[in-house]
Amino acid sequence: MLRIAVQSKGRLFEETMALLQEADIKISSSKRILLVQSSNFPVEVLFLRDDDIPQSVATGVADLGIVGENEFVERNEDAEIVKRLGFSKCRLSLAIPKDVEYPGLSWFEGRKIATSYPGILERFMQANGIHADIHVITGSVEIAPGINLADAIFDIVSSGSTLVSNRLKEVEVVMQSEALLIGNKNLTEEKKEILQELLFRIEAVKAAEDKKYVLMNVPSDKLKDIIEVLPGMKSPTVMPLAQEGWSSVHTVLDQKCFWEIIGKLKALGAEGILVLPIEKMIL
């Protein structure tokens, strides 16, 4: 059985549990207990603080962990990245008071910077030859300049609204972050087999994201033109209709180009276009 360490609350917790649910791995999260076993898959979930997850995986307390890249890089534990999951995206940035003129990184020379990520910040400053006073705090880092605790902050930024509300502006993006599936480097063969099945399910869920299954009726004499427009994964499915001169075309479209493609299909004579969500996609 695999043990997966998961953040016990917050956005990453919610998105992780949604992913497991989509992969048909049933975990009860209604009871706030430390360790919960799946009722239909050989995994158990260990709920931890996000900053404890890298160490728990590196030391073998957990076999896998789902954690933000920011925490994984900061803790610098001896675990490996198994898969990038593509959700809970954010960035780690330097921010200064809104009204302060910013000439470049040299501004930070000798300044006091408040952060919960001293390791990442120190490595960045060293790489750029900047000597700053790094002040480690937890909690509401963004209030530090306002109460004269620091000249600047280094913290997670998602939408940027928290910075705005504290009269701060983002001036340097140090790293991008997303949810990672990390693993212990010494998994047994049995656990590796379970991990492969887990990855198979996760990849099927991720492959279906932002994809639509599209069915349409098209004039048979326009088939070649319509197929050239479709950016499907492979050749679309084409079936003749009972009405002579018409065919049914089935394909998969990406949400990003969906409306542009639909417009072209309509212009070529496609009718009765039916759009369906895709739950899983096995590649």
Cβ 101 vs Cβ 41: under 8 Å: no
Whether residue 31 is predicted with pLDDT greater than 70 in this model: the reply is no
> Is residue 183 packed enough to be buried (19+ CB in 10 Å), middle (13-18) or exposed (0-12)?
buried
Whether residue 233 is predicted with pLDDT greater than 70 in this model: the reply is no
Q: Which fold has domain 210-277?
A: Alpha-Beta Plaits (3.30.70)
> Is-same-fold flag (2-87+178-207; 90-176)?
yes
Q: What is the pLDDT of residues 96-153, one digit of tens each?
A: 999 999 999 999 999 999 999 999 999 999 999 999 999 999 888 999 999 999 999 9
CATH superfamily of the domain spanning 2-87+178-207: Periplasmic binding protein-like II (3.40.190.10)
Give the Cα separation of 117 and 49 in Å (integer): 15
- For the segment(s) 90-176, the CATH number from 1.10.10.10, 3.40.50.10490, 3.40.190.10, 3.30.1490.100 is 3.40.190.10
Whether residue 232 is predicted with pLDDT greater than 80 in this model: the reply is no
Listed in sequence order, the residues at least 6 apart from 167 whose beta carbon sits closer than 8 Å to its beta carbon are: 97, 98, 99, 146
Closest by CA to 82, choosing from 54, 48, 101, is 54
Domain spans in the chain, listed from the N-terminal domain onward: 2-87+178-207, 90-176, 210-277
Listed in sequence order, the residues at least 6 apart from 164 whose beta carbon sits closer than 8 Å to its beta carbon are: none
0.85 surpassed by pTM: yes
Residue 138's pLDDT is 86
Give the pLDDT mean for 69-92.
Answer: 96
- Give the position of tokens 């890298």: 54
Whether residue 282 is predicted with pLDDT greater than 90 in this model: the reply is no
Give the pLDDT mean for 202-217.
Answer: 92
Q: Going edge to edge, which strands form the sheet with 271-277?
A: 237-240, 246-254, 211-219, 271-277
